[in-house]
Amino acid sequence: MTRNYFLNHDPKRPPDSGDPCWIFLTPTQAVDAVAMDFQAYGPQPELLRRIAPLVLGPQCRTALSEENRNGVTVWRGASFEPVQDHSLGFYLIHVMETAPPDLNTLAHICRRVFQTTTFAGKLTADDEPGIWVHSQMDGFVCRQCGQCCRQLDYETGCDESDIRLWQDRGRTDILAWVQYLDTPGESVDRAYRIWVDPDTGKTARTCPWLGSCPDHSNRFVCTIHAIKPEVCRQYPYTAKHAAMTGCSGRFAAQTEPPVHTNP
């Protein structure tokens, strides 16, 4: 599950569980989220090797390529043939889009891809079924290491709601670090880049709003915490997102299933 996916996706809550960490995806959204995971995190040959039989059927046999650590070999007829992991990823998404797996298999695929608890179920008893995915963000504790503020690429993560918030608060000091980008065509959505130094016109490598914690020399604080951009507010989106992007925060790994699961 990727940053952009979760920024753009309105999470649906299971009505009776009260747990805000359960996210409901329609089958189409689930396949989209899998595709975005493949794009976001680069080579994941072991993951692809494990989900290929779920997508292509149990007759599909795979192994990691010995020569190419980003490669997978797939059994096709009489012999194993080498495949680059991204090619296999594209192919698996293509198969899932053109011949969607049954919901329980899709939930199994999502479980492996997102490394969390998933269920085939419904949003409410009357709704079409889809996939429940647990973000594992309950009990997340940030260690204030500042890694995300210093290392991650959040440059294009700022959106219109952030701009409106800073305008409403009169924060011209923050707006001064936002660059407005021309968007091609007739799109009404404007694009922005943060944090662009108003003096040099260069994008800052470290977030300019990152400050040292007065009590701990090796911890950091966000000096605009209450009005920081949504992209920072949402980070990390899932336990996998944290693991794949170097977040050292702590997770409480307990999940309770939502109420409307398939029999």
Is residue 250 a contact partner of residue 140, using CB atoms and an 8 Å limit?
yes
Is residue 170 a contact partner of residue 206, using CB atoms and an 8 Å limit?
no
Which of these ranges, 159-167, 194-202, 209-217, 247-255, lies near ligand SF4 under the rule CB under 6 A? 247-255
Q: How far is the CB of 140 from ligand SF4 (least distance, A)?
A: 8
Is residue 52 a contact partner of residue 17, using CB atoms and an 8 Å limit?
no
Is residue 101 a contact partner of residue 57, using CB atoms and an 8 Å limit?
no
Task: Fill in the per-residue mask, 125 to 154: x = in contact with ligand SF4 (CB under 6 A), - = not in contact.
Answer: -----------------xxxxxxx------
Q: Which residues pair with 82 in a beta bridge?
A: 73
Which is nearer to ligand SF4, 65 or 245 (by Cβ)? 245
Which is nearer to ligand SF4, 105 or 147 (by Cβ)? 147
C-alpha angle 51/77/81, rounded to 5°?
65
State how far the Cα of 157 lies from the Cα of 193, in Å rounded to an integer: 8
Figure out which of the listed residues 43, 53, 208, 249 binds ligand SF4, where binding follows CB under 6 A. 249
Torsion of CA 58, 60, 66, 70, to 10 degrees: -100
Number of alpha carbons in the 13 Å side-chain half-sphere of residue 129 = 13
Q: How far is the CB of 250 from ligand SF4 (least distance, A)?
A: 8
Residue 181 Rama label (left phi>0; alpha psi -120 to 50; beta): beta
221 is a contact residue toward ligand SF4 (CB under 6 A): no
Which of these ranges, 17-25, 48-56, 87-95, 245-253, lies near ligand SF4 under the rule CB under 6 A? 245-253
Q: How far is the CB of 9 from ligand SF4 (least distance, A)?
A: 20
Q: How far is the CB of 242 from ligand SF4 (least distance, A)?
A: 6
Q: How far is the CB of 42 from ligand SF4 (least distance, A)?
A: 19
Stated as kind and residue range, the H or E segment containing 222 is: strand 216-222
Which is nearer to ligand SF4, 74 or 152 (by Cβ)? 152
Task: Fill in the per-residue mask, 101 to 120: x = in contact with ligand SF4 (CB under 6 A), - = not in contact.
Answer: --------------------
Interaction site with ligand SF4 (CB under 6 A): 142-148, 235, 247-249
